[in-house]
Amino acid sequence: MTAIDDLAYLAAGGKLSAPENAAPRYRGEVMRVMAVLIDSLMAGAAGFADCINLAPGLKERIAAARIVLEKFGHAGKILALMDQFGANTAQYVSAHPWAARRARSVNFGTRRIEGDMRLNVFHYPIQGWVDAVVMNVLMGRATVIQLGELTTCSYDPLAAVIAEILPVEARHAELGLEGLQAALAAGHDPTDAQASLNYWYPRVADTFGRAKSEHFETYRRYGLREHPNEVLLQRWRDEMNPTLLRLGLHAP
């Protein structure tokens, strides 16, 4: 199948099941999607690992440890797919200091740091347990929406892995919400929680990317994405904002 035929096949809803069946450009785009997922899962797990001992009780520490374990496991499943593309996955885990964070005052917006494919939200440091669960509430729902977009992608092995890990990631978001509810019920200052929300909300919103993204059009042509960034972002806001109001908080 030529590259032109490949594009026409995918535009018509076709699916591919192995790297050798794909044109080079398509292979590159699939690898890009997988790199963003792996880097974000690795960095998210590494950063949250530092928060386990900040949790106020044993139940919360067990939940946090489970989230870290499962996110590393999800990264491993996608890394196994990348291995089939000939990537040097043996060195992947040591490629970056995954737990490293930039200054809290920095805001990268939607700009990426060269050589690191993690979503920018995973470059920012967490300050305390409530800050961690606020971030997890916001990014957990964003992750569910972003992964859900890939469950019907044109590369079947990736779609299958995403369908497998999506319910677990949804549970991570629920655990974050339970943690925040428990902290507020135990008397944590809602003003402090709102300050964390004010910090993380725009940074999580940035993970959806720029509106009218040219790269989205490439993903769409190859059947890797269906809905544009601004549609997914609005879906997240529509889900998130009422949830925050029920907690006595509000979107900034």
Identify whether 1 is part of a domain: no
Q: What are phi and psi of 152, to 5 degrees?
A: -115, 20
CATH number at residue 180: 1.20.1260.10
pLDDT tens for each residue of 1-23: 444 457 778 877 889 988 887 88
Identify whether 12 is part of a domain: no
CB 140 within 8 A of CB 176: yes
Write the CA distances from 136 to 143, 179, 251, integer angstroms.
Answer: 10, 9, 15
Q: How far apart are CA 232 and CA 47, in angstroms?
A: 25
pLDDT at 211: 86
**pTM for the complete prediction?**
0.93
Identify whether 116 is part of a domain: yes
Q: What is the DSSP letter of 91?
A: G
pLDDT tens for each residue of 125-172: 999 999 999 999 999 999 999 999 999 999 999 999 999 999 999 999
Identify whether 6 is part of a domain: no
Q: What are phi and psi of 96, to 5 degrees?
A: -140, 155
Q: How far apart are CA 115 and CA 4, in angstroms?
A: 30
Q: Which domain holds residue 139?
A: 20-102+112-246
Identify whether 24 is part of a domain: yes
Q: What domain count does the chain have?
A: 1
Identify whether 228 is part of a domain: yes
Identify whether 13 is part of a domain: no
Write the CA distances from 8 to 1, 23, 80, 103, 178, integer angstroms.
Answer: 10, 12, 28, 46, 46
Identify whether 77 is part of a domain: yes
